[in-house]
Structure 1
Amino acid sequence: MRTTRWAIPVALLCLGGLSACSSAPEAADAPEPTKASVRPSSAGKPSQRPSLRPPGAHPPVAYKPSWPDRTTRTKAGYLVDTCVPESLRDKATTLTTSDGVHLSALELGDGPDGVLLDHEQGYNICSFLDIGRKLAARGYRVVIPEYRNHGASEHVADNEHIERDARAGLAELKRLGAKRVFLGGASCGGSTAAVVGAEGELPVVGLLMMSSPARCGGVDAVAAARKIDAPSLFVVSPGDMLGAVEKQVREVYAASAATQKRLVIDQSGYHGTDMIRRGPRGAALERDVIAFVVAAYDKAR
């Protein structure tokens, strides 16, 4: 079985429940820019740096990032993961969840057609960055939140309620003017994306779940899939956690209400977006994912 250093531990922890999920850095990010220490202007108070964001944007907030040695501050005062290229750091913002947790997020593209991309536990905001950039270039408005206890997002006491992080990303898409949404996520990120999409905040045109378990703690992806009838794509490797992940993905797939749904079995042995980022068929799988998003929106028009 082919695995990466983090693929098996993350799957083992996250399938056991959200509170147990690892928040260790991903093993194979792009080379980091020069590390910078983060010095909040004053504890709990907004930064005094002038914001370069458009009117109505969220102001920068001072908080303790989860991975401070991999966090930097943008010119506008937002905290962002150093995996994000400097050319994209002006797309960073800070979201605040319903329970008051501050999340680093990227906002790419524009227009009424939204895409929410939620990363795996133990990974970071750059897991979906390449796909997000390519979708934005095609005319979609993309939001990629970095979940609590990961990267440049706030460090908190536990890892419960990550569905609130997905919910904050979806609310941001709506605030920015998205009229409908394609939901995408990997591992528990896919599970939470489905759960918040099923709540009906925005019309759902499609769903992508990569290595996403049926349940993450109190998050029930099976119940959510029964409520989403939009085209749905499920991707999993049979070698991930010795088949345990595939079993759960098949459970969600079987429960899906979508009349157009696909189950893709990737033989790489990798977990989540590592199937794209490290697998031998990664480039082809990425093209398939992007084509699926485009087709879902074409069908919705």
Structure 2
Amino acid sequence: MKKALLCILIACTVMSLGLTPVHAETKNEKSIIVATGKDVPTDGHLSEEYRFPEKYRENAVQFVTEDGILLCGYVLGEGSKGITLGHANGWMVKSWLPFAERLVDAGYQVILWEFRNNEPSGSAEGEASNRWDLDVLAAAQVLRERGATEILSMGASDGGTATAAAAPHIPDLVGLGIFSSPSKPSRIGGEGKALEGVGKINVPAFFAVSTDDFAGNLYPHVEALYEACSSTQKQFNVIDSPDHGTDMISPEIPGNGYAAFPKSDEQKQKRKELADKLMTFVNEAFDKSADEADEGKTEAPISTTEIDKGKTDDSTSPLKADETIDRIENSNGNTTIYPLMIGAGAPLLLMVIVFVSMKHKKNKE
């Protein structure tokens, strides 16, 4: 009798272990980062005033786009709030550095990189050479790999055009910043892609242009992007100055290559005012996202998956790929407990039966 009960107990225990679900944490996305620190090619081919500071050497990162182009850049700061900063064509990565450092001091994680066909990043030929929008998407992915859960994307001139084209495809986008950007260049992302892109987003958007931009009359271009933007929280900033792209927000810093110095105190003040306004925009964009997330947690139904008809907020919008993965993983975490309880309970119940049977038999003897 004892041997039979013992065999049954062992068999049930093995079965319960076999039926208990085992969930392993798996990587949903393959890393696109291929090198970091001193292993990353740098802009040593440039004269010193144009190079990225040596103190950031360990922040260097090399990553690959979805079409296989190797890009080189820098990730500064850390945290869940990430910001991509796309440079103007001819201004290069250092042009964003003064404002990037300000963002880092405020607690943001930022990425600055050289677009394709700009050394030390790799080159592409034919139509692929125009796909700067893919570079923006890759930069956003690097931030996500580094812990960012929300992305605000900004760009100057052609870098802004590429950012606009990429915007609707950036997961968890919370804001968009465009400076002196052409609206219909066939060479960046494809003709009309920037206008199409801003027409598909509904996040806070910041547009800025100078009236006397030395690079040309970009007012109608930025205005067209502003008008095409479907966001209900957008602003159009017009500055009476000759500044282009990041020059509009750059302070007078010696050695800041690819930046035109302000020629008057008035111009210097206008740059400072726009930079301060942009900083406020960035803070408010992330704060708004946090507020909406909190409201969603409060209002979300607990015991049903039915979507309320008529709602148009983020809680009823189509799921992003990462949200889908997260919700599935969370669901697995909640439902695993029941098979575990059943699996562990069966042998426990048999142990009690064995104990009672043996005690009952002993009493009879």
Structure 2-normalised TM-score? 0.60
Q: CA deviation at 1:154?
A: 2.1
- Provide the residue aligned with 1:235 in structure 2: 208
Instruction: Report the Cα distance in structure 2 between the residues aligned to 1:190 and 1:269, rounded to whole angstroms.
Output: 18
The answer on whether the counterparts of 1:81 and 1:125 sit within 8 Å (CA) in structure 2 is: no
- Provide the residue aligned with 1:275 in structure 2: 248
- Provide the residue aligned with 1:225 in structure 2: 198
Q: Which of these residues, 125, 133, 139, is aligned with residue 163 of structure 1?
A: 133
Instruction: Report the Cα distance in structure 1 between the residues aligned to 2:57 and 2:122, rounded to whole angstroms.
Output: 18
Q: CA deviation at 1:107?
A: 0.5
Q: CA deviation at 1:242?
A: 8.1
Q: SS where residue 248 of structure 1 aligns?
A: helix
The answer on whether the counterparts of 2:86 and 2:112 sit within 8 Å (CA) in structure 1 is: yes
Q: Which of these residues, 91, 98, 113, is aligned with residue 59 of structure 2?
A: 91
The answer on whether the counterparts of 2:176 and 2:206 sit within 8 Å (CA) in structure 1 is: yes
Q: CA deviation at 1:81?
A: 2.5
- Provide the residue aligned with 1:252 in structure 2: 225
1:290 matches 2:245: no
The answer on whether the counterparts of 1:163 and 1:192 sit within 8 Å (CA) in structure 2 is: yes
Give per-residue Cα distances to partners, 1:157-203, cap 9 Å, x unaligned: 4532111111110111122221111110011211211222211x412
Q: CA deviation at 1:239?
A: 1.5
Instruction: Report the Cα distance in structure 2 between the residues aligned to 1:227 and 1:57, rounded to whole angstroms.
Output: 26
Q: Structure 1: which 5+ residue stretches go unaligned?
A: 1-55, 62-73
Q: CA deviation at 1:60?
A: 3.5
- Provide the residue aligned with 1:78 in structure 2: 40
The answer on whether the counterparts of 1:123 and 1:150 sit within 8 Å (CA) in structure 2 is: no
Q: CA deviation at 1:91?
A: 0.6
- Provide the residue aligned with 1:145 in structure 2: 113
1:180 matches 2:150: yes
Q: SS where residue 71 of structure 2 aligns?
A: strand
Instruction: Report the Cα distance in structure 1 between the residues aligned to 2:67 and 2:32, rounded to whole angstroms.
Output: 20
Instruction: Report the Cα distance in structure 2 between the residues aligned to 1:173 and 1:109, rounded to whole angstroms.
Output: 10
1:78 maps to amino acid: V
Q: SS where residue 198 of structure 1 aligns?
A: helix
Residues 10-29 of structure 1 aligned to structure 2 (within 5 Å): none
Hey, which of these two has a bigger chunk of helix by percent?
2
Instruction: Report the Cα distance in structure 2 between the residues aligned to 1:103 and 1:242, rounded to whole angstroms.
Output: 26
Give the total of aligned pairs: 232
Give per-residue Cα distances to partners, 1:180-231, cap 9 Å, x unaligned: 11110011211211222211x4121111100112123115211111111111
Give per-residue Cα distances to partners, 1:232-280, cap 9 Å, x unaligned: 1100012226863110110110111121211111111121112223342
1:289 maps to amino acid: L
1:100 matches 2:68: yes
The answer on whether the counterparts of 1:148 and 1:165 sit within 8 Å (CA) in structure 2 is: yes
Q: Which of these residues, 177, 183, 198, is aligned with residue 208 of structure 1?
A: 177
Q: CA deviation at 1:80?
A: 2.1
Instruction: Report the Cα distance in structure 2 between the residues aligned to 1:241 and 1:214, rounded to whole angstroms.
Output: 17
- Provide the residue aligned with 1:38 in structure 2: none
Instruction: Report the Cα distance in structure 2 between the residues aligned to 1:242 and 1:286, rounded to whole angstroms.
Output: 20
The answer on whether the counterparts of 2:35 and 2:63 sit within 8 Å (CA) in structure 1 is: no
Q: CA deviation at 1:101?
A: 1.5
- Provide the residue aligned with 2:33 in structure 1: 58
Hey, which of these two has a bigger chunk of strand by percent?
1
Structure 1-normalised TM-score? 0.72
Same amino acid, percent of matched pairs: 31
Q: CA deviation at 1:156?
A: 4.0
1:295 maps to amino acid: E
1:198 maps to amino acid: P
Q: SS where residue 102 of structure 2 aligns?
A: helix
1:299 matches 2:288: yes
1:207 maps to amino acid: L
Q: CA deviation at 1:113?
A: 1.0
> RMSD in angstroms over aligned alpha carbons?
2.0
1:136 matches 2:140: no
- Going from structure 1 to structure 2, the CA distance change for 1:122 and 1:242 (only over 3 Å counts) comes to closer
Q: CA deviation at 1:293?
A: 0.5
The answer on whether the counterparts of 1:124 and 1:151 sit within 8 Å (CA) in structure 2 is: no
Q: Which of these residues, 257, 263, 266, is aligned with residue 239 of structure 2?
A: 266
2:271 maps to amino acid: G
